[in-house]
Chain A
């Protein structure tokens, strides 16, 4: 069995969502020229964005055609279960009603045009994280469908995800027994670094791992896992070789400053190991493979890394060399099976 935790399907254009939008929103799109969520987490022509062979033969953008995706992301790699993470950037839409309407449309589109047609696929629920109450409404509307396994949040948001404003999202996800998936990207309109905007995309891309780290600090410090003790979170396309350094610093700080966050009942690294998982790709690997095994040993668990192809994005998604077979089995299959209950 092989489980792929990160496959991207793409909304080709706003028109594809018309069947799932109300007359009012179709009117709005047509009259105002509003084209839906047009922001991209990946620049259209950058070399990380799409493998050159993934553009559908009949035209359209990579990930927009079920047949092509079925063949390339499921049949050829022999994937038994693949999770769709549709990166439709509703998080950048300021109008709350528009953000909700487009989220609903994307989820219905996923259900009708992807999940109902291909039993190997599962999907994440697209929500507007900038409006947690509306996000919760959408989670409750569709979250009991078994094809949806998690709620998708972009890693960059207007406030870090440990903030109390997000409780409605976690509450709804818990009620529907859904995981939280935090994925690379996000267009909240606030700067991509703690000191403002960088000049080049490569800085945002490389710096995204640091934003994931900020989210882990926030989620644990904010007591989200104490309020919602069954909540499980997967970080997608975050990288993970930085985990030991974060655990060491966070655990040490907790010893010194734990009075500030008295709800923590164990060290931060224990919360990470218990509640958090990470997709494999991209592996920011050390030059020597024994160093990578040391990193996994330092993480203190072999259960945390789950295979992902990140299709159709252009990363080397092959397994790093030098991993023992038992660990490969865990990464390719067992860890995801256990985490998602597949």
Chain B
């Protein structure tokens, strides 16, 4: 990477930071094209993106975008830095924001995917991180190939503005599978959290454990279940025992289901642990020590006091990370996202401190 990219970044001191947004989506086209190697582009033009999944569910809005997020000068939501600055960073006084670009990786040709991932990361650095000091980015990898992913992690991690590795929910195997372990090894080596983001991917399976659902609301609401299966897999396949410093961030998967999952896993572990002797602790131990969650889209009980009860059951105030999910339709506004008024201490943790402690800003 170029010399400018390896310079250390500057950011306001912690006490001056009032808000960190851990999930912003930017579009890279058309700038991305010039970063893609000719051979890849030619292949893409001839064969296009062939998926496994049939027609994707029509979202509630085109591209699942907020209707007001289309830049006045054209282009798709999130693709215009000045407009993103105006509508998100300036409008909400966001001091630091993490870009999770959702430009898809095909996951069919490993070398093509790797080249595409490199292009995305280089484009992010040049077109977004260089001109806007408030932004950081997740680095994109050809995640279905652990070795190629690890190579890209080692390359891009040199640039401190890349603060985590991004995976989609719909991978081709549960994320505890050993094919992903080289990726986790590289994450640990470079001290970068691994973020798993809602949707994406091209896993080649129905998106529930019981076949294809019919509606977008099942895709959107059902994302929580896909995350649950990943947590189960990461714990019981022994990823956290093997990589004790690995940090996982669940992005846009909800959070209210985590306590009940944790109770279920501890009970299950008591009964069936003889099958997984490599798992050294009760599952709740791993959830407590290795798993962070972003807040959007937040489950909202009919009675707000039930949200207080959830926070008590969850009991991990240091693991919640505020996120808006700009520019998507289910955007959480920083002043209205929570169904209850958080205590000032918790609000500060969720909106600033937890992210500062987790990410290398």
C-alpha gap A160/B221 in the complex (Å): 14
Contact of B171 with A by CB under 8 A: yes
- 1/0 contact string of A178-217 vs chain B (CB within 8 Å): 0000000010101111111111111101111111011101
Task: Decide yes or no: A294 and B174 within 8 Å by CB, A196-B205, A211-B208, A214-B213 being known contacts.
Answer: no
A193 touches which one: B174, B221, B261 (CB < 8 A)? Answer: B174
Residues of A238-262 contacting chain B, CB below 8 A: 239, 241-242, 244-254, 256-257, 259-261
Contacts of A297 in B (CB 8 A): 306
**B207 and A194 form a contact (CB under 8 A):** yes
**A251 and B300 form a contact (CB under 8 A):** yes
C-alpha gap A261/B211 in the complex (Å): 19
Closest beta carbon of chain A to B9's beta carbon, Å: 34
**A256 and B329 form a contact (CB under 8 A):** yes
Contact of A298 with B by CB under 8 A: yes
Contact of B276 with A by CB under 8 A: yes
Residues of B287-325 contacting chain A, CB below 8 A: 297, 299-302, 306, 309-310, 312-313
- Of the stretches B30-38, B124-132, B150-158, B263-271, the one at the interface is B263-271
C-alpha gap A209/B208 in the complex (Å): 12
**A48 and B206 form a contact (CB under 8 A):** no
Contact of B243 with A by CB under 8 A: no
- 1/0 contact string of B232-272 vs chain A (CB within 8 Å): 11001100000000000000001011011101110111011
**B213 and A217 form a contact (CB under 8 A):** yes
C-alpha gap A254/B60 in the complex (Å): 11
Contacts of A247 in B (CB 8 A): 301
Contacts of B208 in A (CB 8 A): 160, 194, 211, 214, 218
**B275 and A201 form a contact (CB under 8 A):** yes
Contacts of A197 in B (CB 8 A): 173-174
Contact of B40 with A by CB under 8 A: no
Task: Decide yes or no: A196 and B232 within 8 Å by CB, A202-B275, A249-B299, A294-B309 being known contacts.
Answer: no
**A195 and B256 form a contact (CB under 8 A):** no
**B300 and A257 form a contact (CB under 8 A):** no
Contact of B176 with A by CB under 8 A: yes
C-alpha gap A224/B67 in the complex (Å): 32
Contacts of B176 in A (CB 8 A): 198-199, 203
Contacts of A196 in B (CB 8 A): 172-174, 177, 203-205
C-alpha gap A209/B205 in the complex (Å): 19
**B225 and A211 form a contact (CB under 8 A):** yes
A253 touches which one: B214, B217, B261 (CB < 8 A)? Answer: B217
**A213 and B224 form a contact (CB under 8 A):** yes
**B313 and A260 form a contact (CB under 8 A):** no
Contact of B99 with A by CB under 8 A: no
Contacts of A199 in B (CB 8 A): 174, 176-177, 233, 236-237
Closest beta carbon of chain A to B147's beta carbon, Å: 20
A200 touches which one: B60, B210, B225, B275 (CB < 8 A)? Answer: B275
Closest beta carbon of chain B to A247's beta carbon, Å: 8
Contact of A282 with B by CB under 8 A: yes
- 1/0 contact string of A138-171 vs chain B (CB within 8 Å): 0000000000000000011111111110000000
Contacts of A259 in B (CB 8 A): 60
- Of the stretches A4-12, A33-41, A108-116, A284-292, the one at the interface is A284-292
Contact of B218 with A by CB under 8 A: yes
**B259 and A286 form a contact (CB under 8 A):** yes
Contact of A222 with B by CB under 8 A: yes
Task: Decide yes or no: A282 and B309 within 8 Å by CB, A207-B232, A211-B209, A221-B213 being known contacts.
Answer: no
C-alpha gap A254/B261 in the complex (Å): 23
C-alpha gap A293/B206 in the complex (Å): 36
**A48 and B222 form a contact (CB under 8 A):** no
**A218 and B218 form a contact (CB under 8 A):** yes
**B214 and A203 form a contact (CB under 8 A):** no
**A162 and B232 form a contact (CB under 8 A):** no
C-alpha gap A217/B225 in the complex (Å): 10
Contacts of A160 in B (CB 8 A): 208, 210-214, 218
Contact of A269 with B by CB under 8 A: yes
Closest beta carbon of chain A to B257's beta carbon, Å: 4
Closest beta carbon of chain B to A178's beta carbon, Å: 21
**B209 and A192 form a contact (CB under 8 A):** yes
Closest beta carbon of chain B to A269's beta carbon, Å: 7
Contact of A47 with B by CB under 8 A: yes
Instruction: List 6 A-B pairs, minimum CB-CB distance, nearest first.
Output: A248-B299, A245-B256, A284-B264, A214-B208, A211-B209, A193-B229
A-B contact pairs, 16 of them (CB 8 A): A191-B209, A194-B203, A194-B205, A195-B173, A195-B203, A198-B233, A199-B174, A203-B237, A221-B218, A246-B257, A249-B257, A253-B220, A260-B215, A286-B259, A286-B313, A297-B306
Given contacts A163-B213, A196-B177, A269-B302, 12 further A-B contacts (CB under 8 A): A186-B210, A188-B211, A195-B173, A199-B236, A206-B236, A211-B225, A218-B210, A221-B214, A245-B256, A245-B257, A249-B257, A257-B220
